[in-house]
Structure 1
């Protein structure tokens, strides 16, 4: 895999050229879309494979946060990421110049004078029209943003009054706003890495489910008052294993085929012991080797146990010993 951090920041002038340069970073990194998504998540960003594919499949200027997530996942240095972001802002500024020039150079309406028009109020309002329009636009955008956040929340549910921000009694996947961001910050404070972006996406759902399993709560993937009470209570989470500790334990346990064991665990879970994936049929897969609900039932273990990296690796070693290989798992690279 090529180290993207050594690649120079490109000299491009258009949004299309900027996206082409980002595609080149991804191509030379040697990472699949799924690899990038998991690396981005580990770095505290949210970048699903579908979002990445959409971003790299268009010729429009991508969002700043998705650019940062992609570059960070590909190993770009912080200094070069800053340069990439600066370049993006320069392109964005140039793209907005024609519209701004057109607005500021539009001559006033001289078809009728103040005195001649019976519909024009007295006084020269043209002197304040442009700044007034700008203030109105800013206010309208703020209002639309507030209404958009409100529209994403379930209707008819009661609101909490424990903070300055009124939050729904239940938070679930698909919501967006400061209430979700507060939840994410509290999860991070408990050692559950998740992007703090205000979006209740799959990564946040995964962390919520993991905490519910560890705390002995109903594993629903939604956040309610018992969940928040447990989140504020005594610690229930073990000290998380670092990626290096996970890799070391895998190599020791699977000594005859250590490299493949590490590769597989990285592919299915990103070497994240607390990873929980919700499948299309609503079932879940748990931990480093993503054992299914059915497999946990057959082995007679609960979900908390499944999230223990020691147990998860030992269970995978048992499967590997019986089959002689890793054919039990299927993890194909993303396009």
Structure 2
């Protein structure tokens, strides 16, 4: 990937955290679940992960402060935007893809048809992850006579160049076709300027507005969200409240809920008819009590502890997952319940989903961090 200022600054931030922690790449790989060689490439600024989750895990493992996490999130957004805008795919990204291919049964990996996630890199196999990735050349691919690769040939790596070529081609096409919310999104709508009321598309605003930023462009994002009914302070400070509201807006509009305001989100903020008005706390309490007839006080206390009775409360976890809505239903529980983030932000659905979780054991074991909030309340049904 050609070096760019955003990517270099992103790598420099990661290197600073890594050096300060005193941890090796091997130790960080164990803590984060990402291969050491992949983390090494991130720190060198030669590769940018598509998902912020792996970055957050790395920074947390290194002991990053909340302010450092906000700065890192914004720099990752800028680096990711630069990557998706150029659609560049380098040989080192191909190493990530080939390592991922090598991790599965070769019989199932002959044809490469999708985008390969470098965060699932399995490393080089020696366990330390501190070494430089091997250089890979992607040259002309000679015709293959046989219709299928033989298993022994695949294992011996004779067709690695063919696989790399296919991955590079797939990555290039996918980066062009599947990219969402990058800076070029929305240009087809004519761009904009402060004069025509589209400040976010003017030269005064950066391609990506993200966590940790404090300026008039953040204020414009907040103003647009407030105009759609969102409960948000218009203070020009992109903090946790703005992050939650931006993410909720992206869910409502069907955009990738990454919490950063790129081109597609900017366009939607100006053109979408989405309304973000939610139930007031009094209505939330009333409905919780109506659903949790066996433990109404405890259920209200749990929801208040989890989300402050905010139906659009979204909390990111250190492993890249999120908790959603009134009862902060996790991604894992959401899949088990057959729900979606959009449903989880609907207070009616969220409350009834929480009741389903409660009904399994007739207690609030799914919310252990709020035990103090329900102290003295009847947390189980009365004896029958």
Normalized against structure 2, the TM-score is what? 0.44
**Residue of structure 2 in register with 1:177 after alignment:** 215
1:162 aligns with 2:200: no
Q: Which of 332, 341, 346 in structure 2 is aligned with 1:303? A: 341
- What does 1:60-209 correspond to in 2, within 5 Å? 162-163=193-194, 166-209=204-247
- Tell me, which stretches of 5 or more residues in structure 1 are unaligned? 1-49, 52-150
In structure 2, the CA distance between the partners of 1:183 and 1:288, relative to structure 1 (3 Å rule), is same
SS of 2:369 mapped into structure 1: coil
Structure 1 runs, 4 residues or longer, greater than 6 Å off = 155-160
CA distance in 2, matches of 1:177, 1:314: 40
**Residue of structure 1 in register with 2:259 after alignment:** 221
**Residue of structure 2 in register with 1:268 after alignment:** 306
Q: Could you tell me how far 1:249 is from its partner in structure 2?
A: 0.2
CA distance in 1, matches of 2:320, 2:238: 17
Q: Could you tell me how far 1:163 is from its partner in structure 2?
A: 1.4
CA distance in 2, matches of 1:168, 1:330: 41
Q: Could you tell me how far 1:214 is from its partner in structure 2?
A: 0.9
Equivalent residue pairs, number = 185
**Residue of structure 2 in register with 1:211 after alignment:** 249
- 8 Å Cα contact 2:279/2:311 also seen in 1: yes
SS of 1:331 mapped into structure 2: helix
- 8 Å Cα contact 1:264/1:331 also seen in 2: no
Q: Could you tell me how far 1:292 is from its partner in structure 2?
A: 1.0
CA distance in 2, matches of 1:235, 1:330: 38
1:232 aligns with 2:256: no
In structure 2, the CA distance between the partners of 1:178 and 1:278, relative to structure 1 (3 Å rule), is same
Q: Could you tell me how far 1:289 is from its partner in structure 2?
A: 0.6
SS of 1:255 mapped into structure 2: coil
Q: Could you tell me how far 1:174 is from its partner in structure 2?
A: 1.0
SS of 1:277 mapped into structure 2: strand
**Residue of structure 2 in register with 1:324 after alignment:** 362
Normalized against structure 1, the TM-score is what? 0.51
CA distance in 2, matches of 1:232, 1:323: 46
Structure 1 or 2, whichever has the larger Rg, is 1
- 8 Å Cα contact 2:311/2:326 also seen in 1: yes
What RMSD in Å do the two structures reach over aligned CA positions?
2.8
SS of 2:318 mapped into structure 1: coil
CA distance in 1, matches of 2:304, 2:277: 20
**Residue of structure 1 in register with 2:330 after alignment:** 292
Give per-residue Cα distances to partners, 1:47-83, cap 9 Å, x unaligned. Answer: xxx99xxxxxxxxxxxxxxxxxxxxxxxxxxxxxxxx
Q: Could you tell me how far 1:329 is from its partner in structure 2?
A: 0.6
- 8 Å Cα contact 2:221/2:269 also seen in 1: no
